[in-house]
Chain A
């Protein structure tokens, strides 16, 4: 039981840590790997829960999640990175020190009294609320701080991972078909996003969204 608690904390921390890494690294490949590890941590969290609850339904959801987030998404993103030779390319609107400063501020905000109602609901998990809420805000920041379309895709998916993580601690029990439906929505989103990223590269020869100036013209 102690081990399960330890691992729960550990995997929540990993999801949080990966958002920080995604925010500060420059290489797209590392960002994709960070997303992979974040998703894997989410899969592990769900595995622990399905084991604890002895729930076959949760185990099925975990398996689907594993396929969608740790297999399909990273493969698609790595293919985009390789095809467009984008290993070192992501610039940000804010430089690294400024980015770190914003991340600290977001964590302070996540730890503020504004979120006290949520901490009440998280009850026994309220001590990790800063990781849960902070991860959400930092993922949102990642989406709009990076100039690369691929990083924005990963930002949205990281935000979605963090929301999935927090939902696991809110004691929500949905029916299997609803959970699977949500995951299929995510899968289609990943496919659509990847197609779009490729279309951007085809038209602009880059993933840099600041180079997209056709609307202004």
Chain B
């Protein structure tokens, strides 16, 4: 029942907005109501999964513990993004950047985007997972280009072509996996059961293609080239979802294949691949962050860095797996906070260049504090959640490969120095002429304040439903059972 509601609500709300959304009140109320129901239903599903109850709609649609954790993350970010978007889009409308028609399109596509992520998370069939992830590309590409400027179209085109071509290799790899059985409509469980009989060489071969596809969607180096441009041009609430939610959904898909290959060939193959590309992403993003002059692109490189860290955690194994799961949650929420705060800054300064943003403490007193919190939480300052998740990953790295762990630590320090440099540039100095002082409306910072409270609380303690989900997820990822 919960699963049915989870699927119906985003679709129904998209239809209501599309056909009945004649004014902003209907559009906003429908969107926020839908996001609220989705969040409540997601919590209900997570509680059921935590108590080992079966949450399934058909044999192809059901949740496991790891999927439930990511579902909670996606629904939470979606709720805050929807809430924030109502005031953000109104501000853009006042500036003449958007009309009601485009605002309507924004919310319709947003709900469809959320729907496809839900499908990808609970799909038990690799083809459905792939189709849902590909469909997120189609839903988000028009969100990235919602302002319809020349540069937006360019970024959107790059996003569409690179992601589609990459994901097609993912589909090819999926076919290779499916070809190693003789049954019809294989589920992840079927594939895992067959894994022990797979030809190890072919399992590796198939995984390389799957990795290419899903890593492109995650923005792992060297398939990351779409990311800085897409993040630079997309509305910042959408960046929160791309970075916090979609990245995790794509990695979830990749890990499901990884679990199958672990059984077929042993853990070393996937772990080595994860460590190599994780390191590459962390190092390249670290240098890019240090030299960056655009705070929206900074968010993109930060996303690349953190997807690398998550990949490293999974690659190191052991306690690193637990660290990576924690990191997926903390990073997603902190990044959403930073993106929402950044959207207020972008609205006020009408620029994404760091050198154009000065005296932030004076111009946006509440937003600037929220931005600073997001900033330092994301940097892994103790005792934030990211501090602990990175610590677990580093500890696992010391056991697994000390040089990679040291490289990761050095990059984290480099990123910290680079970030702090940007922080001082943006927060202090003389406010540029013509920039209004003071927040625009309470709705622009209230959702971000609530999100900040959640992040800070989660840094110290986890709700009781998360504990069994964590335990089951670690078993799933280490013990290889989709």
Contact = CB atoms under 8 A, between A and B. Distances in A.
A121 B131 contact: no
A185 B135 contact: yes
Interface string B160-181: 1100110010011001101110
B185 A203 contact: no
Contact of B176 (A121, A143, A160): A121
A121 B179 contact: yes
B371 to A, nearest CB: 25
A56 B149 CA distance: 48
Interface stretch (B150-158, B336-344, B414-422): B150-158
Interface in B165-202: 165, 168, 171-172, 175-176, 178-180, 182-185, 199, 201-202
A51 interface: no
A40 to B, nearest CB: 20
Interface in A147-177: 149, 152, 155-156, 159-160, 163, 166-167, 170-175
B172 A192 contact: no
B142 to A, nearest CB: 8
Interface stretch (A7-15, A16-24, A72-80, A208-216): A208-216
B175 A178 contact: no
Interface stretch (A84-92, A98-106, A193-201): A193-201
Contacts of A172: 175, 178-179
A118 interface: yes
Given A166-B175, A178-B127, A160 B157 contact: no
A217 interface: yes
Contacts of A136: 172
A181 B128 contact: yes
A204 B149 CA distance: 11
A120 B202 contact: yes
Interface string B52-77: 00000000000000000000000000
A47 to B, nearest CB: 20
Nearest to B130: A182
B424 interface: no
Contacts of A192: 138, 141-142, 160
A141 B149 CA distance: 29
Nearest to A167: B175
B84 to A, nearest CB: 26
A200 B175 contact: no
A117 interface: yes
B153 A199 contact: yes
Nearest to B201: A117
Given A172-B178, A181-B131, A203-B153, A163 B138 contact: no
B293 interface: no
Contacts of A178: 125, 127-128, 131, 185
A144 B161 CA distance: 9
B229 interface: yes
B262 interface: no
A188 interface: yes
A173 B131 CA distance: 17
Interface string B198-237: 0101100100000000000000000000000100110000
A59 interface: no
A189 interface: yes
Nearest to B158: A215
On chain A, which size bracket covers the interface? 35 or more
Contacts of B229: 215
B184 A173 contact: yes
B41 to A, nearest CB: 24
Contacts of B145: 199
B175 A170 contact: yes
B38 interface: no
B157 A149 contact: yes
A209 B164 contact: no
Contacts of A121: 176, 179-180, 202
B305 interface: no
A196 B178 contact: no
B161 A152 contact: yes
A140 interface: yes
Contact of B164 (A120, A156, A182): A156
Interface in B228-267: 229, 232-233
B134 interface: yes
A171 B182 CA distance: 8
B56 to A, nearest CB: 17
A195 to B, nearest CB: 8
B131 A196 contact: no
Interface of A: 117-118, 120-121, 136, 140, 143-144, 149, 152, 155-156, 159-160, 163, 166-167, 170-175, 178, 181-182, 185, 188-189, 192-193, 196, 199-200, 203-204, 209, 212, 214-215, 217
30 contacts: A121-B176, A136-B172, A140-B165, A155-B165, A156-B161, A159-B168, A163-B168, A167-B175, A167-B179, A170-B176, A170-B178, A170-B179, A173-B183, A174-B127, A174-B184, A175-B184, A178-B125, A178-B127, A178-B128, A185-B135, A188-B135, A188-B138, A189-B134, A203-B153, A204-B150, A214-B150, A214-B154, A215-B154, A215-B155, A215-B233
Going nearest first, the 4 A-B pairs with the smallest beta carbon separation are A214-B151, A170-B179, A214-B150, A117-B202
